[in-house]
């Protein structure tokens, strides 16, 4: 009977809870439960509201120095220096209202990060896009000495050009092809330019009537009306690699050996004969060529190009002559996919009519800018739908959780009354997008398949909304794929060999070789692969250099190619030392060194490698150099301490990373939560997040490994969250330079218990795909390595602006202070002792190490890597000066710098390779459901294993 009463009571309480929950959601529907502050409208809505507004009639030019209100500016020689924190306001009068473009005549201050500005009209941001406008920097080849090199040519160094440029303001997201139009009232107006990043000089700010571009038909009629005639002279050929300016340092000349008709040509040597390729793919990237023409007139323009990067689609470019787009069709020039080179005139896609372009006599500029064209509007619509679906998904999981019961009816149509309507709206939007894509070209099946899959999932959810649990997983997967689609559709690569300014009637040459030319090319290339010296002109200072050092890198071909060029252009010429750079497998490092055939220097190796060399007397002790401390000051002390043992230091850091807290600003705002500063504050958020079926993630994996790890043992890094808790509570890993572990001290035990209880008591997620679940809103806050910034910036465009980084939560100590200590992970570069002593290249190797870890070299290398691989390939430099130059963004850099004050080294001692693995085993023995081990017992057992290995290794290396 007692058992029956208990059973009845439990059932009664459960029913009451369910009824309460249903009533709560009926009265307070999920999607209406939180009022979100209104944001600025999108530009498309702004323009729609002002569709009846007239075009401005009176141009206005404002001198930059004649401001009414300013912050962080200075004046010199009649120009205004607007710093990265500047705000400048101008007052002016207009005789009539209207739409205007805004043009800035500015000069970038070289060496800074991205130039970003906000625009306010009469004290308000008119639309979202006005809050993030980027201005371009310009670069050029340092010289063309590479053309004189025999054999393999090295890429020319790119230098930033500080020159005046006038530009209209465009949306930075690339979705809007035309310059932004701003509406101004009649009478007095104010224009405020607020800096987010970058220093510039300002000369004038112009308001230009927002006249639409003419059609080609109107453009050519006006040209002929002005008496301009078709050019009748000889064709003019411009090589693509001879660009005068480019907006990214990654747009240097490249080599293409796929065709015997590329100019210039060699079947096996690296000859720089083209420009662009995959590096020229980001909207806004521009290449500018200068051309001299003998007479003013109308010229036809033909490009020899290859678009073999994005199958089944085309790449889009915007063409400008002397800084202006001549007609509307030039905003959307399409270059179709083909595996080989093509050569054709720019022409109308429908009629095939070849375009004429007016050029003045003498010097002209022709520029090509990566443009999304028709894809811009499509990508914008897809992103809007994805944002709406993400919000709907978050509403659903509040009720169902992220792992719903497939057989349960959650009554979602009752709890979310407009569920079916919202699903139907987005389904119809996506259907319309697919139709528009198919109307553009019938070859877009690969692009529409992802959208179609999501439409299928939406149809199922619309038909049976109360059975969403069956479809939620595939719905989530389809949304994630759609986010990737947005990223991929914005990639518009294109390679240019040359272009021709041609007279009317000129017959273009062949773009590709015939059968016999291609056959001969392949035979010569095959023979050249055996006979060509690929080290020729690579890393040579000249015949006067009497010493050569060998440098090994194991991290990848892209790193190798960039480093090879930098060594040739900078180190060899400036230091007079030859360098043989080799790309090798990291596992070859130890055997080669032991046999005496290794390199002088290893760079970008994992943190454990230099210490393992040092214990075996294989790494040179850098403290023996008189200027070591001066060089070490380039880095955080914690980064250098990673490579110290006793009084020696065996490497210099070249990469560095540490944990940060990532959080969804939009979700925390909806829940009324603040960003936690301490662990106590963090734990107070947990019940609220879990009540909304959201999870929390603290990385449970090993600390990130930077650089190449040689197989010198079963090294496993220690979990950084555990180390943070240990350090913040005042503990440490080892005693007496690694004689024994210290994690069973009272502080160490407390840290381990606290760590495991996050999972046993607070139900944190043990393992998951953080990036995906973060972008979906399932995990709105977590602690992971800061390189996750790169992943989210690239792979989650739909939540851009909705997330941020913060310092990890700290621990309040007994004295009331808060400790934010966190471990740092690094990679390093070392000098191999036995090799340099045998060759007598100790000093030369040290000079190379100093050059490689210098601020200029590290920043240049990081910039090049990011240019080639995109933001996902951002290189986390260890040099503090270079770290400050990386384009993190002002707010992100502030929190990163605050964290830098608290980073601590992870000691590398003999036998420490076992520590991470044993602690991980102890952790899982406590948190897994199948085990029931006390955390104190687990950590004591772990320490026994660690101490046994430490003792064994100290005996092996005679450190007792």
Average pLDDT over residues 705-720: 73
Share of the chain above pLDDT 70, in %: 92
For residue 711, the model assigns a pLDDT of: 54
Q: Which two tokens stand for residue 872?
A: 């996902």
What average pLDDT score do residues 734-753 get?
92
Asked if residue 373 lies in contact with residue 332, where contact means CB atoms within 8 angstroms, the answer is yes
Helix, strand or coil, per DSSP, at residue 21: helix
Q: What local confidence, expressed as pLDDT, does residue 21 receive?
A: 36
Q: What kind and span of H or E run contains 299?
A: strand 297-306
Average pLDDT over residues 262-272: 91
Output 544 or 208, whichever has higher pLDDT.
208
The region of weakest confidence among 451-460, 844-853, 864-873 is 864-873
Averaged pLDDT for residues 311-325: 93
Residue 465 binned pLDDT confidence (cut-offs 50, 70, 90): confident
pLDDT of residue 799: 87
Model confidence band, residue 442 (pLDDT cutoffs 50, 70, 90): low
Work out the number of other CB atoms within 10 angstroms of the CB of residue 196: 18
pLDDT tens-digit series, residues 487-515: 888 889 999 999 999 998 899 999 999 99
Q: For the residues of 501-542, what is the DSSP string, one character each?
A: EE-TTPPPPPSS--HHHHHHHHHHHHHHHHH--TTTTSS---
867 vs 491, residue with greater confidence:
491
Q: Strands across the sheet with 333-336, in order?
A: 158-161, 138-141, 245-246, 286-293, 362-370, 314-321, 333-336
| Residue 17: per-residue pLDDT | 36
pLDDT surpasses 80 at 204:
yes
- Please give the pLDDT value at position 318: 97
Helix axes 746-760, 935-956, angle to 10 degrees: 130
For the ranges 461-470, 488-497, 528-537, 543-552, the maximum mean pLDDT occurs at 488-497
Q: What is the pLDDT of residues 25-79, one digit of tens each?
A: 333 333 333 333 335 689 999 999 999 999 999 999 999 999 988 888 899 999 9
Contact call for residues 175 and 376 (beta carbons, < 8 A): yes
Q: Where are the beta strands (DSSP E) in 808-957?
A: 811-812, 818-819, 822-831, 903-904
For residue 818, the cross-strand partners are 812
pLDDT reported for residue 714: 56
Q: Which of 471, 284, 296, 257 is nearest to 372 (CA)?
A: 284
Question: What sign does the dihedral 875-876-879-885 (CA atoms) show?
Answer: positive
> Is-contact 875 796, C-beta < 8 A?
no
Residue 438 pLDDT class (50, 70, 90 cuts): confident
Between CA 247 and CA 7 the distance in angstroms is: 72
d(CA 584, CA 51): 61
Contact 551, 848 (CB under 8 A): yes
Any idea which of 298-312, 590-604, 629-643, 816-830 has the lowest mean pLDDT?
Answer: 590-604
User: Which of 278, 287, 256 shows the shortest CA–CA distance to 269?
Assistant: 256
Report the sign of the C-alpha dihedral through residues 380, 385, 390, 391, in that order. positive
Average pLDDT, stretch 546-561?
85
By percentage, how much of the chain surpasses pLDDT 90?
63
* Closest among 293, 288, 304 to 243, alpha carbons compared: 288
pLDDT at 455 over 90: yes
Whole-number pLDDT of residue 585? 84
Domain range list for the chain: 2-32, 43-209, 218-371+492-517, 376-489, 539-570+586-595+603-641+651-700+767-908
Out of 32-46, 61-75, 561-575, 854-868, which region has the weakest mean confidence (pLDDT)? 32-46
| Whether residue 15 has pLDDT greater than 70 | no
- Using left for φ > 0, alpha for ψ between -120 and 50, and beta otherwise, residue 98 falls in left
Predicted confidence at residue 72, as pLDDT, reads: 82
Q: Which residues have C-beta within 8 Å of that of residue 456, sequence separation ≥ 6?
A: none
- Tokens 């202070």 map to which residue? 817
pLDDT at position 343, please?
96
| Residue 568: DSSP 8-state | I
User: For domain 218-371+492-517, which architecture applies?
Assistant: Sandwich (2.60)
In this predicted structure, which of 427-441, 509-523, 707-721, 811-825 has the lowest mean pLDDT? 707-721
φ, ψ of residue 358 in degrees (nearest 5): -80, 130
pLDDT band at 535 (very low <50, low <70, confident <90, very high): low
- Residue 595 has a pLDDT of 77
User: Is residue 723 within 8 Å of residue 745, measured between CB atoms?
Assistant: no
What is the domain class of 43-209 according to CATH? Answer: mainly beta
Taking the C-alpha atoms of residue 759 and residue 679, their distance in angstroms, rounded to an integer, is 14
- Tens digits of per-residue pLDDT, 76-103? 999 999 998 899 999 999 999 999 999 9
Q: What is the pLDDT of residue 37?
A: 34
**Nearest alpha carbon to residue 621 among 599, 602, 606, 643:** 643
The confidence score (pLDDT) of residue 401 equals 84
Does residue 664 contact residue 802 with C-beta atoms inside 8 Å? yes
Q: Give the span between the Cα atoms of 613 and 836, in whole angstroms.
A: 14
What's residue 34's pLDDT? 30
- Predicted pLDDT at 543: 52
Token look-up 């897994």 returns 928
Query: What stretches of 692-761 show up as alpha helix (H) in DSSP?
Result: 720-728, 746-760
Give a three-class secondary structure readout of 334-392. EEECCCCCEEEECECCCCCCECEEEECCEEEEEEEEECCCHHHHHHHHHHHHHHHHHHH
DSSP, residue by residue, 49-77? HTTTSPBP-S-EEEETT--SEEEEEEEET
Select the CATH number that applies to the domain covering 539-570+586-595+603-641+651-700+767-908 from these four: 3.30.360.10, 2.40.10.410, 3.40.190.10, 3.30.465.10: 3.40.190.10
Give the pLDDT of residue 38.
39
Count other Cβ atoms within 10 Å, centred on residue 900: 18
pLDDT number for residue 560? 86
Mean pLDDT of 540-564: 78
Residue 679 clears pLDDT 80, i.e. is over it: yes
Rounded to an integer, the average pLDDT of 248-264 is: 91
The residue among 124, 118, 446, 432 whose CA lies nearest residue 312 is: 446
> Mean pLDDT across the chain, nearest whole number?
88
Token pair 């790494």 is at which residue? Answer: 619
Average pLDDT rounded to a whole number, residues 262-276: 92
At residue 814, the 3 state secondary structure works out as coil
Predicted confidence at residue 40, as pLDDT, reads: 66
Residue 471 vs residues 420, 475, 476: alpha-carbon distances, Å: 14, 6, 9
The helix (H) or strand (E) run that includes residue 3 is helix 2-27
Please tell me the pTM assigned to this model: 0.85
Could you tell me which of 174, 138, 173 has the C-alpha nearest to residue 159? 138
Answer left, alpha or beta for residue 549, where phi above 0 means left and psi between -120 and 50 means alpha. Answer: beta
Among 122-126, 565-569, 653-657, whose mean pLDDT is lowest? Answer: 565-569
Show Cβ contacts of residue 399 under 8 Å, excluding neighbours closer than 6 positions: 25, 30, 410, 412, 415, 416, 693
Task: Calculate mean pLDDT across residues 321-347.
Answer: 95
781 in Cβ contact with 775 (< 8 Å):
no
739-743 long-range contacts (CB < 8 A, ≥24 apart) are 739/950, 739/954, 740/947, 740/950, 740/951, 741/915, 741/943, 741/946, 741/947, 741/950, 743/919, 743/939, 743/942, 743/943
Q: What integer is the mean pLDDT of 870-874? A: 79
Task: Output the pLDDT for position 931.
Answer: 64
The three-point CA angle 596-598-600 to 5° equals 110
User: In terms of DSSP bridges, do strands 781-785 and 342-345 run parallel, antiparallel, or are they unpaired?
Assistant: unpaired
| Tens digits of residue pLDDT in 372-424 | 998 899 999 999 999 899 899 989 988 888 888 888 888 888 889 999 999 99
- pLDDT digits 0-9 by tens, 577-594: 999 999 888 888 778 877
Residue 407: predicted pLDDT: 81
Phi, psi angles (nearest 5°) of residue 932: -140, 50
3-state secondary structure of 286: strand
Tokens encoding 705: 């490994």
* Fold match flag (43-209 vs 218-371+492-517): yes
SS3 of 643-674: the string is CEECCEECCEEEEEEEEEEEEEHHHHHHCCCC
Categorize the per-residue pLDDT at 718 as very low, low, confident or very high, splitting at 50, 70 and 90: very high
Residue whose C-alpha is closest to residue 318's, from 375, 272, 262 = 375
Greater confidence (237 vs 440) lies with 237
41 DSSP 8-state letter: P
């Amino acid at each position: 009977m007692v058992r029956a009463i208990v059973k009845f009571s439990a059932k009664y309480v459960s029913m009451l809870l369910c009824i309460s929950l249903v009533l709560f959601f009926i009265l307070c529907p999920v999607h209406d439960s939180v009022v979100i502050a209104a944001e600025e409208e999108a530009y498309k809505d702004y323009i729609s509201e002002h569709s009846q507004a007239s075009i401005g009639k009176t141009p206005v030019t404002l001198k930059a120095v004649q401001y009414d209100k300013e912050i962080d500016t200075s004046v010199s020689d009649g120009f205004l220096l607007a710093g990265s924190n500047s705000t400048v306001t101008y007052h002016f009068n207009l005789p009539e209202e209207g739409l205007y473009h805004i043009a800035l005549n500015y000069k970038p201050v070289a060496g800074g990060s991205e130039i970003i500005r906000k625009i306010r009209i009469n004290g308000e941001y008119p639309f979202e896009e006005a809050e993030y406008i980027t201005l371009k920097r310009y670069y050029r080849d340092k010289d063309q000495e590479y053309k004189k090199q025999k054999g393999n040519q090295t890429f020319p160094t790119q230098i930033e050009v500080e020159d005046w440029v006038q530009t209209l303001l465009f949306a930075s997201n690339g979705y809007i092809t035309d310059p932004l139009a701003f509406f101004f009232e009649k009478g007095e107006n104010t224009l405020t330019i607020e800096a987010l990043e970058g220093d510039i000089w300002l000369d004038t700010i112009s308001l230009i009537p927002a006249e639409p571009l003419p059609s080609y038909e109107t453009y050519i009629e006006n040209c002929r009306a002005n008496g301009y005639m078709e050019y009748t002279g000889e064709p003019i050929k411009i090589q693509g690699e001879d660009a005068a300016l480019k907006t990214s340092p990654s747009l240097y000349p490249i080599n293409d050996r796929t065709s015997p008709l590329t100019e210039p040509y060699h079947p096996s040597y690296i000859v720089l004969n083209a420009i662009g390729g995959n590096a020229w793919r980001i909207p806004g990237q521009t290449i500018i060529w200068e051309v001299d023409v003998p007479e003013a007139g109308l010229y036809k323009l033909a490009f020899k190009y290859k678009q073999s990067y994005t199958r089944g689609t085309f790449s889009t470019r915007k063409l400008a002559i002397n800084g202006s787009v001549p007609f509307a069709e030039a905003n959307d020039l399409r270059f179709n996919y083909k595996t080989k080179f093509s050569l054709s005139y720019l022409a109308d896609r429908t009629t095939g009519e070849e375009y004429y372009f007016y050029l003045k006599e003498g010097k002209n500029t022709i520029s090509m800018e990566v443009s999304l064209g028709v894809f811009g509007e499509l990508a914008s619509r897809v992103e809007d739908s994805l944002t709406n679906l993400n919000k709907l998904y978050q509403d659903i999981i509040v009720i169902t959780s992220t792992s719903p019961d497939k057989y349960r009816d959650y009554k979602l149509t009752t709890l979310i009354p407009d569920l079916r309507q919202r699903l139907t709206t987005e389904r119809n939007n996506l259907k319309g997008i697919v139709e528009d894509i198919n109307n553009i070209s019938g070859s877009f099946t690969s692009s529409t398949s992802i959208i179609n899959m999501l439409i299928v999932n939406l149809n199922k959810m619309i038909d049976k909304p109360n059975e969403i649990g069956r479809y939620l997983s595939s719905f989530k997967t389809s949304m994630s794929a759609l986010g990737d689609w947005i990223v991929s559709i914005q990639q518009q690569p294109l390679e240019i060999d040359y272009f021709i300014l041609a007279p009317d009637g000129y017959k273009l040459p062949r773009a590709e070789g015939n059968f016999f030319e291609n056959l001969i090319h392949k035979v010569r290339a095959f023979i050249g692969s055996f006979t060509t010296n690929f080290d020729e002109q690579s890393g040579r200072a000249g015949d006067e250099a009497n010493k050569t050092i060998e440098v090994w890198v194991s991290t990848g071909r892209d790193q190798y190619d960039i480093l090879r060029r930098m060594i040739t252009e900078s180190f060899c010429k400036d230091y007079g030392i030859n360098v043989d750079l080799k790309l090798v497998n990291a596992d070859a490092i130890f055997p080669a060194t032991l046999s005496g055939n290794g390199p002088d220097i290893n760079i970008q190796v994992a943190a454990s490698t230099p210490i393992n060399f040092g214990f075996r007397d294989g790494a040179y002790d850098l403290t023996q150099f008189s200027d070591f401390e001066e060089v070490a000051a380039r880095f955080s002390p914690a980064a250098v301490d990673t490579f110290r043992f006793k009084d020696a230091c065996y490497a210099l850091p070249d990469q560095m990373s540490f944990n940060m807290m990532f959080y969804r600003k939009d979700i925390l705002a909806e829940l009324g939560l603040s960003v936690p500063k301490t662990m106590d504050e963090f734990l107070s958020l947990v019940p609220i997040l879990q009540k909304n079926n959201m999870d929390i993630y603290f990385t449970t994996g090993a600390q990130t490994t930077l650089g190449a790890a040689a197989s010198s043992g079963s090294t496993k890094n220690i979990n950084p969250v555990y180390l943070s808790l240990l350090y913040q509570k005042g503990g440490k890993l080892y005693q007496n330079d690694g004689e024994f572990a210290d994690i069973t001290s009272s502080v160490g035990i407390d840290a381990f218990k606290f760590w495991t209880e996050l999972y046993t008591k607070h139900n944190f997620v043990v393992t998951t795909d953080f990036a995906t679940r973060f972008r979906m809103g399932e995990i709105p806050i977590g602690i992971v390595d800061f390189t996750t910034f790169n992943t989210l910036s690239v792979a989650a465009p739909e939540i851009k602006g909705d997330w941020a980084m913060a310092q990890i939560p700290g621990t309040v100590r007994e004295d009331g202070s808060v400790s934010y200590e966190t471990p740092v992970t690094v990679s390093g570069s070392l000098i191999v002792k036995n090799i340099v002593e045998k060759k007598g290249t100790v000093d030369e190797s040290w000079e190379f190490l100093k050059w490689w870890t210098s601020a200029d070299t590290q920043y240049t290398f990081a910039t090049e890597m990011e240019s080639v691989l995109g933001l996902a390939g951002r290189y986390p430099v260890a040099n503090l000066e270079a770290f400050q130059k990386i384009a993190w963004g002002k707010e992100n850099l502030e929190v990163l710098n605050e964290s830098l004050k608290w980073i601590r080294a992870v000691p590398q001692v003999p036998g420490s390779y076992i520590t991470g693995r044993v602690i991980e085993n102890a952790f899982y023995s406590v948190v897994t459901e199948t085990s029931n081990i006390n955390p104190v017992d687990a950590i004591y057992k772990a320490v026994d294993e660690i101490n046994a290995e430490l003792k064994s290794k100290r005996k092996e290396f005679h450190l007792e």
